[in-house]
Amino acid sequence: MAKILKMKNITKEFPGVKALDNVNFEVEEGEIHCLVGENGAGKSTLMKVLSGVYPYGNYSGDIIFNDKVQKFRNIKDSEKIKIAIIYQEFALFPQLSIYENIFIGHEFHKNNFIDWNKTIHKTEEFLKMVHLDVHPQTKVVDIGVGKQQLVEIAKALSKDVKLLILDEPTAALNENESENLMDLLRELKKRGVTSILISHKLKEVIDVADKVTILRDGQTITTLNKEDNTIKYNAMVKHMVGREITDVFPKREKITRGDIALEVKDLNAFSPRLDRFLVKDANFKVHQGEVVGIAGLMGAGRTELALSVFGNPLNYDVKGKVLKDNQPLRFDRPKKLIDAGVAYVSEDRKGKGLILKQNVKNNITLANLRSISRNYFINRNKEILGAEAYRKNLNIRTPSIEQKVLNLSGGNQQKVSLSKWLFVNPNVLILDEPTRGIDVGAKYEIYTIINDLVAKGLAIVLISSELPEILGMADRIYVMNKGTIQGELSAKEANQEKIMELATA
Amino acid sequence: MTYIKNYFKELRVLLKENIRDYGMFIALGIIMIIFAITSGGLFLGSRNISNLLNQTGYIGVLSVGMTLVIIIRHIDLSVGYVSGFIGALSAILIVQYNLPALIAIFLVTIVGIFIGLWHGFLVAYMKLPAFVATLAGMFIFRGAIQQTLRGTGTIIIDNDLYRAISNGYIPDIASYPNLHVLTLILGIVGVLIYIIFEIRNHRIKKSYDFEVLTKPMLISKIAFIGGLVMLLSVSMATHRGMPWTMVIVFTVVLIYHIMMNNTILGRNIYAVGGNPEAAELSGISVKKITLFVFASMGFLSALSGIMFASRLQSATVTAGRLFELEAIAGAFVGGVSATGGIGKVTGSLIGAFVMASLTSGMNLMGVGSAVQFIVKGAVLVIAVIFDVRTRKEGK
C-alpha cells in the first residue's frame, strides 16, 4: 500500500523546550494509525504541525502528503488537500443547527444566495453516513457530546476528507458511544478514509489500530504493527514510560505519619453542562506528615476531584463526605475549607491561582487578610513583613514584593501561588500540578519546600501527571482514570508501568 | 551644577516611571493654564473655582461609585435617573409631606441603597449582565421620576438646609472683611497633615529598605502639592469660604480611599475585579462583593441626586439625564481600567474634575455646546489611549 503521509525529521521548539525532536512518522493509505504517549510526549504538537496550526517555517522538517512536500501556512491549506483534525474541544457553533455547522464556509449556492434546501438535504446524507439519527435542524447545543462528535466527523466527510485526525475523541464519551465511534472508524476505513487516532485508552487502541506509533519526550520510539502481532498492551506501556528517571529528588527525612488529616468518602461530582460524572465514588485519605500522590492522565478527573472537595467553585452536583481530622466538614464553599485549614494550589496558576495585575504582596496575603488586620483594617506593616518572610523563605526572585506578578517567571509565580496558600497556615495542602511549566531548578526548590512542610507534619496531596515526580515524592499513590480511583499503590510497590496500567485501564 | 543636573535627572525618571499616576495631574495643569490664558484669568478666579467645585460635586461622587463598579468588571447605566428620582423623592417628602430636610435626606438615601441592592441582586444572583440590568433600571427610574412629579411638574424646594448642601459655605469662626478665616485655617491644617503623612510614609518605607525619593525630590513634591492646596484654600477664603459640596465630596473620597486601600473589603473588591475565579477560590464571595458594590453605587447615586436638586433648588423631570455617562467618562479619564481590577477613587474624582473644567473653561470662552461635546469625547479617547499604552509597559 502507498504511503499517504510522511513526516520527516520534524523538530519543533518552544522557548526553553524541544516539544518535537526529529520525529519521523509515516501513515499508509487506508489504515487506522494510533498515536500514543504520555502527557507532554508531543502527540498534539505533531498533529498541530500536520494540520497547519503551526505554519511552515515554524518547525523544521518536511511534511509529504500524497508524494508532495506540503508547506501549510494555516489550517485552511491543510483542509484544501483534505486533511481534517477534530480536537477534544469541538469547533462547533453551539447555537447553530447541525446543517449550518456541517456546511459552514462551504454552503451550496444558487444565484449567489445560499441554497438551504440543498444544504439540509445533503446534511441528511452525511448524518446517515455517521449513523446519527437526528434532524438536521436540531441545534448543536441540544445534542450530547457523543453526537456532537459525530457532527464533527460528518463535517469532515462533507469536505471529502482523505486523512482524518482525532485527538482523544473518546475522552468525553461513555463506553457505548466510544464503541460506536470505533465501528464508524472501521467503516470509514472501508470507504478509503485514513485515520490518525490519538488516544490514552490502550484497550481501544488494541481494538482498532492497524499500526501504533509511540512518542516519548518528543521523539518517535517505535511503530508497532498489527500484521506482525506486536500491538500488545505491555509493550505499549513499556515504550511509553521507558525513560530513565533522570530528575533528582531531594532526600526526605523518614518521619512517621500521624493521624488522618483529611478523608474523602464516596465523592461523586456530576457536571450538568457536560452531562456526565467527572468524579465517581472516590475515596481517599491523607495522614499528617504524608505525601499522597494522585496520578493519572489528562482528563482523568484529578483536578475535578480536588475542586469538588475544595468548595466546588464550578458548581458541579457534588455528593459525598469530607472529613477533616475525623470531623465531618461542610464543603460547599472554598471559604469553609480555608477556615478548616485546607489549602488548594491550583494547576492553573494564571487562571485560577493568581491575580496577575496585582503585586506579589497582595497576592500572598489575599486568602488570609484577617491575620494581618484589626477590625477589618489591614495593618500594612504587618502585611509587608508577612509577605517579605515568604519571599525570603521560598526564595521568590523578584526586585521587590511590590512587583506585579505578571512580570515574574513561571517558577516564581508558582512560588507566589504556594506562598499565598502557606500564608493561610494550612495543615492539609493540595498541590495540583505544582511543577507544570517551570524549569528544573525551580522544580527542585518546590520539592524541597514540600519536604520541609511534610517534616512539619503537614498532610500533602500531590496531583501530578509526571510519573517520576509522583514516584519520587509520594509515600502512597492513588491512580485515577475516567473519574474513578482505579487503585492505590504504596511507594514500594509502585513503578511507572504499574501506574500506567491503572491509568489506561 | 551637578546637583541641579541630578535633580532634573531624577525628576525626569520619576515622571517617566510614574507617568500613569502623574499624567492626569499634568493634563489638569495644562487644561487650567490654557483656560486661564484664554479667559484672561477669569477661569482661575475664586468665584469660578468655587463654581467649578460645586459643579464637579454631584458627578464626582458618582464617579467614585462607578470606579468600584468598573473595577469589578460591571457597569451601572441607571445612576443618572436614579439620582434624578431620589432628588424628586426628597422634594416631595420635604415640600408635600413637610418632613424635616435631614429626615427626608436620610430616608431617600436608604431608598437609594435599596435600588442599588436590587441591581446588585439582578447581576450577582440572577446572573443578568450589568449592562442589561441597569439599562432596565435606566428606563424604570426615568419613568419613576415622571410618575413622582406627574401632579406637580417641577417642584421648588424652599428649604435653607437643603439649599445649603450645594450652594452654601461653611460658617466662619471670626469675621474679617473679604477673608474666610476657617477656610484658611483648614487649608493650613490640611497641608500640615499632608506633610506629616508624607514624612512618616517616607520614614516607614526607608525602614523597610524600599526605594524612596531623594530629599530634594521629596521636598519638591511636598512643596508642589502643599502649594496647590494652599492656593486653592486662599482662593476659596477670599471668596466666600469652603463650599459644603467640597466638604461632602472630600469626606466621600476620603472614606472610599481608605476603604479601598486599607481594609479587607477594599482588597476583596480589587481581587474580584482582578480575577474573579482566583478570588472565589481564595474564599471571597464574589456575589456578596457585587451586591455591596452596587449598593454603594445606589447610596452615592442618592447623594448625587440630593446634591443636584439642592444646586437647582428644585426637582425636575430632566434631572440626572446623562449623569451616568459623565460619571463613566470621569472614571475612565481618571485611569480606571476597562478590563477591571485597576483604578483609584481619587483618580476618578480628578477625572470628573477634568471633565467639569473643560465644560467650565469652554463656557467662559463662549464655545458652543456642540463643540464642547466633541472636545470632551476627544479627551476621553485620548485619556484612554494614554492609559492603555502606558499600561502595556507592564508598570
CA–CA gap between residue A202 and residue A347 (Å, rounded):
26
C-alpha cell at A428: 492539609
Record the pTM: 0.84
Lowest mean pLDDT among B142-156, B163-177, B274-288: B163-177
pLDDT at res. B6 = 83
Contact A377 B263 (CB under 8 A): yes
A366 vs B contacts (CB less than 8 Å): 267, 271, 278-279, 282, 284
Residue pair A352/B281 in contact (Cβ under 8 Å)? The answer is yes
CATH topology of domain B38-168+243-392: ABC transporter involved in vitamin B12 uptake, BtuC (1.10.3470)
- Please state the rounded mean pLDDT for residues A252-258: 81
Q: Which of A368, A502, A353 is nearest to A436 (CA)?
A: A353
Contact B283 A339 (CB under 8 A): yes
Q: How far is CA A173 from the centre of its chain?
A: 16
Q: How far is CA B367 from the centre of its chain?
A: 25
Enumerate the domain spans of chain B: 38-168+243-392, 174-242
CA–CA gap between residue B300 and residue B348 (Å, rounded):
14
Rg over CA atoms, chain A = 25
Contact B264 A376 (CB under 8 A): yes
- Please state the rounded mean pLDDT for residues B300-306: 98
Chain A CB within 8 Å of residue B209 CB: no
Vertex B266 angle, CA B260 and B268, to 5° = 155
Q: What is the dihedral of CA B63, B64, B68, B70, to 10 degrees?
A: 20
Interface test mutation site (partner B, options A355, A362, A382, max chain B beta carbons within 10 A): A355
Each residue of A126-152: pLDDT tens digit?
999 898 888 999 999 888 888 888 999
Residues 338-357 of B with CB under 8 A from A: 341-342
Q: Which of B55, B64, B54 is nearest to B297 (CA)?
A: B64
C-alpha cell at B7: 535633580
Give the distance from residue A384's alpha carbon to the nearest chain B alpha carbon, in angstroms: 9
Cβ contacts from A onto B, under 8 A: 87
Side-chain-side CA neighbours of residue A17 (13 Å): 15
pLDDT at res. B394 = 46
Each residue of A14-54: pLDDT tens digit?
776 788 999 999 999 999 999 998 877 888 889 999 999 89
Determine if residue A413 is left, alpha or beta; phi over 0 gives left, psi from -120 to 50 gives alpha, anything else beta: alpha
Return mean pLDDT, chain B: 91
Return mean pLDDT, chain A: 90
Vertex B387 angle, CA B12 and B285, to 5° = 120
B395 vs A contacts (CB less than 8 Å): 404
Name which of B204, B284, B394 is nearest A381 (Cβ-Cβ): B204
Residue B395 has pLDDT above 60, yes or no: no
Residue B22 has pLDDT above 80, yes or no: no
Indicate the residue type of A432: D
Contact A338 B282 (CB under 8 A): yes
Residue A87 has pLDDT above 90, yes or no: no
Each residue of A302-334: pLDDT tens digit?
999 999 999 988 889 999 999 999 999 999 999
What percentage of chain A has pLDDT greater than the value 90? 59
C-alpha cell at A345: 494550589
Contact B282 A366 (CB under 8 A): yes
Interface test mutation site (partner A, options B281, B286, B336, B342, max chain A beta carbons within 10 A): B281
Give the distance from residue A487's alpha carbon to the nearest chain B alpha carbon, in angstroms: 29
User: Kind and range of the H or E element at B12?
Assistant: helix B2-17
Contact B211 A400 (CB under 8 A): yes
pLDDT band at A336 (very low <50, low <70, confident <90, very high): very high
Name which of A353, A377, A406 is nearest B278 (Cβ-Cβ): A353
Q: Which of A465, A489, A485, A464 is nearest to A475 (CA)?
A: A489
Chain A CB within 8 Å of residue B263 CB: yes
pLDDT at res. A368 = 96
Residue pair B388/B337 in contact (Cβ under 8 Å)? The answer is no
Residue of A nearest to B261 (CA): A378
Indicate the residue type of B137: G
Give the distance from residue B267's alpha carbon to the nearest chain A alpha carbon, in angstroms: 8
pLDDT at res. B392 = 61
Residue of A nearest to B267 (CA): A366
Vertex B342 angle, CA B337 and B345, to 5° = 95
Chain A CB within 8 Å of residue B211 CB: yes
Contact B264 A380 (CB under 8 A): no
Lowest mean pLDDT among A6-10, A39-43, A79-83, B37-41: A39-43
Residue of A nearest to B265 (CA): A376
Contact B263 A378 (CB under 8 A): yes
Q: Which of B166, B128, B115 is nearest to B296 (CA)?
A: B115
Residue of B nearest to A406 (CA): B394
Residue B344 has pLDDT above 90, yes or no: yes
Indicate the residue type of B142: R
